[in-house]
Amino acid sequence: MKITAIKPILADGGHRIFVFVKVETDQPGLFGWGEASVEGKPRAVAGCIQDMEPMIMGEDPTRIEYCWQILSRSGFWRMGIIGLSAISGIDQALWDIKGKELGKPIYELLGGRARDKVRVYTHFGGATPELMAQDALSKVAKGWTAIKTVPVPITGIVDGPRGLRQAEAGLRAVREAVGEDIDILLDLHGRLTPQMAIQYGRVFEPYHPLFLEEPCQAENPDAMAPIARALVTPIATGERLFTRWGFREILENKAASVLQPDCCHAGGISEVRKIATMAEVYYAGIAPHNPYGPISTAACVQVDLVCPNFVIQEMIDPDTAPEAQELVKDPLPVVNGHILPPTKPGLGVEIDEAACARRPPDFSSGNKANTMARRYYGAEHPDGGIADS
Ligand SMILES: [Mg+2]
């Protein structure tokens, strides 16, 4: 079998512009799907996928590791978010092809299921403690058993008590509303300095969050490690890290005990599986990052099913993203806060190319997904200085 084409397909998923990847083969009707969505830079990723096409054109798509090595090692430069997202999407598509050729779901090719179902969590929010509690309860009513929010404001290098008090009030209201049986996950979004992260973390600890995510930026594991030492709450990080090499220092510094590699960025299904295995040595778990589309969710689920140290899977609440659901023919259903093992060969989810064609990305300034991209990169401190958002 030979690879005959690698095509990026861009579509407006409502909350994000999605970058899907289609890898075609010389076998009639046999092709694979992947996802390489990156906030704010979809055209760059699509261009990189096009640049990579000739690098593995004509190769056997079932030689996934061989193709991964070509894409990763050729061309001199090591890669960042654009290159590794492109590789990640292609890697997923190659696994999809291999599964379809063999008539098995991908998890069967990765060693088989280590569990019966995948626990998933989604997001909630609200401008006041009352609205946060209300939104949290609405998720619980729909069967979610774990929910995540960003509980901290834009914060200075050092800051006063106002933000701490507001954040505590929000978390207290949510914990009192949902009770002890629902897990609350807190994402600090890399907004804080280590010194402020410790202060916030101590305020949150009486409410027993499942984990504290990105308490500071992950680019300096030496700086994150003191937060982990100062708090009882487990630290999670990794959505902005790539490959085993990106996670090595996190583990060696004991900066986090839950790793959050992203199947769309960290190197695909192949690499997330390896990162998870590396984490096992340190008794750390994985909770793959995934605020993207249904193909990304499907890729994550395949890995989650086989990793003994899997903790929980992030996903967008399908009810809040109907546009994204319409871009695939058969999104994986969420049943009582879990996704059951898909039974179809490959990823188990197919892109609806006609639906994607009906929702081309709109790169003009009024588009919702673009507005979100600007907001992501547009946070400001009260004095007008630029903040991590
Ligand atoms: Mg996050």
Q: What is the 3-state secondary structure (H, E, C) of 26-79?
A: CCCCCEEEEECCCCCCHHHHHHHHHHHHHHHCCCCCCCHHHHHHHHHHCCCCCC
**What local confidence, expressed as pLDDT, does residue 364 receive?**
77
Q: What's the gap in Å between 219 CA and the centre of ligand 1? A: 14
| CA 87 to centroid of chain Cα atoms | 15
What's the mean pLDDT in 28-32? 97
Among 33, 185, 44, which Cα is nearest to 106's?
33
Name the one residue in this structure whose structure tokens are 């058993």: 145
What DSSP element (H or E) covers 296? helix 294-304
**What local confidence, expressed as pLDDT, does residue 102 receive?**
98
Rounded distance between C-alpha atoms, residue 208 and residue 196, angstroms: 19
Q: What's the gap in Å between 278 CA and the centre of ligand 1? A: 21
What's the mean pLDDT in 98-126? 98
Q: Does pLDDT of 9 surpass 60?
A: yes
Q: What's the gap in Å between 3 CA and the centre of ligand 1? A: 35
Q: What's the gap in Å between 287 CA and the centre of ligand 1? A: 11
**What local confidence, expressed as pLDDT, does residue 284 receive?**
98
Q: What's the gap in Å between 104 CA and the centre of ligand 1? A: 32
Task: Identify the DSSP state of 318.
Answer: G
Rounded distance between C-alpha atoms, residue 355 and residue 343, angstroms: 24
| Structure token digits, residue 278 | 């590396």
Q: Which residues contact 316 (CB under 8 A, 6 or more apart)?
A: 15, 122, 123, 290, 291, 292, 324
**What local confidence, expressed as pLDDT, does residue 160 receive?**
95
What DSSP element (H or E) covers 88? helix 81-102
Distances from the Cα of 101 to the Cαs of 25, 54, 173, 220, 260, in angstroms? Answer: 11, 23, 51, 42, 30
Please, are residues 236 and 260 in contact by the beta-carbon 8 Å criterion? Answer: yes
| Structure token digits, residue 356 | 């994607």
**What local confidence, expressed as pLDDT, does residue 380 receive?**
87
- pLDDT tens profile 303-330: 999 999 999 999 999 999 999 999 999 8
Name the one residue in this structure whose structure tokens are 């594991």: 221
Please, are residues 64 and 91 in contact by the beta-carbon 8 Å criterion? Answer: yes
Q: Does pLDDT of 42 surpass 70?
A: yes
Domain-wise residue ranges, the chain: 108-347
Count the neighbouring beta carbons within 10 Å of the beta carbon of residue 99: 24
Would you identify the CATH topology of the domain 108-347?
TIM Barrel (3.20.20)
The mean of the pLDDT values for the chain is: 95
Options 15, 123, 265, 289, the catalytic residue: 289
| Structure token digits, residue 96 | 């999809």
| Structure token digits, residue 41 | 């830079």
Q: Does pLDDT of 227 surpass 80?
A: yes
**What local confidence, expressed as pLDDT, does residue 369 receive?**
57
Of the pLDDT bands very low, low, confident and very high (cuts 50, 70, 90), residue 378 is low
Rounded distance between C-alpha atoms, residue 348 and residue 294, angstroms: 10
Q: Does pLDDT of 61 surpass 80?
A: yes
Q: What's the gap in Å between 372 CA and the centre of ligand 1? A: 15
The percentage of the chain sitting over the pLDDT mark of 70, rounded to a whole number, equals 96
Count the neighbouring beta carbons within 10 Å of the beta carbon of residue 165: 11
What's the mean pLDDT in 183-190? 98
The percentage of the chain sitting over the pLDDT mark of 90, rounded to a whole number, equals 91
Q: What's the gap in Å between 187 CA and the centre of ligand 1? A: 5
Rounded distance between C-alpha atoms, residue 15 and residue 327, angstroms: 13
What's the mean pLDDT in 188-202? 97
| Structure token digits, residue 7 | 């095509």
**What local confidence, expressed as pLDDT, does residue 75 receive?**
84
Rounded distance between C-alpha atoms, residue 117 and residue 14, angstroms: 28
Q: Fill in the amino acid letter for 382.
A: P
What's the mean pLDDT in 7-27? 95
Report strand pairing: 17-25 vs 235-237: unpaired
Q: What's the gap in Å between 328 CA and the centre of ligand 1? A: 25
Q: Which residues contact 150 (CB under 8 A, 6 or more apart)?
A: 125, 186, 187, 188, 189
Of the pLDDT bands very low, low, confident and very high (cuts 50, 70, 90), residue 384 is confident
When mean pLDDT is compared across 151-155, 233-237, 369-373, the lowest value belongs to: 369-373
Q: Does pLDDT of 373 surpass 60?
A: no
Q: What's the gap in Å between 26 CA and the centre of ligand 1? A: 39
Distances from the Cα of 328 to the Cαs of 94, 105, 290, in angstroms? Answer: 18, 17, 17
Options 15, 123, 189, 265, the catalytic residue: 189
**What local confidence, expressed as pLDDT, does residue 321 receive?**
92
Q: Is 123 considered catalytic here?
A: no
Of the pLDDT bands very low, low, confident and very high (cuts 50, 70, 90), residue 374 is very low
Bridge partner list, 213: 187, 236
Q: Which residues contact 63 (CB under 8 A, 6 or more apart)?
A: none
Q: Is 189 considered catalytic here?
A: yes
**What local confidence, expressed as pLDDT, does residue 376 receive?**
54
Ordered alpha helix ranges (H), 104-220: 106-109, 129-141, 161-178, 194-204
**What local confidence, expressed as pLDDT, does residue 370 receive?**
60
Q: Which residues contact 336 (CB under 8 A, 6 or more apart)?
A: 143, 145
Rounded distance between C-alpha atoms, residue 153 and residue 324, angstroms: 29
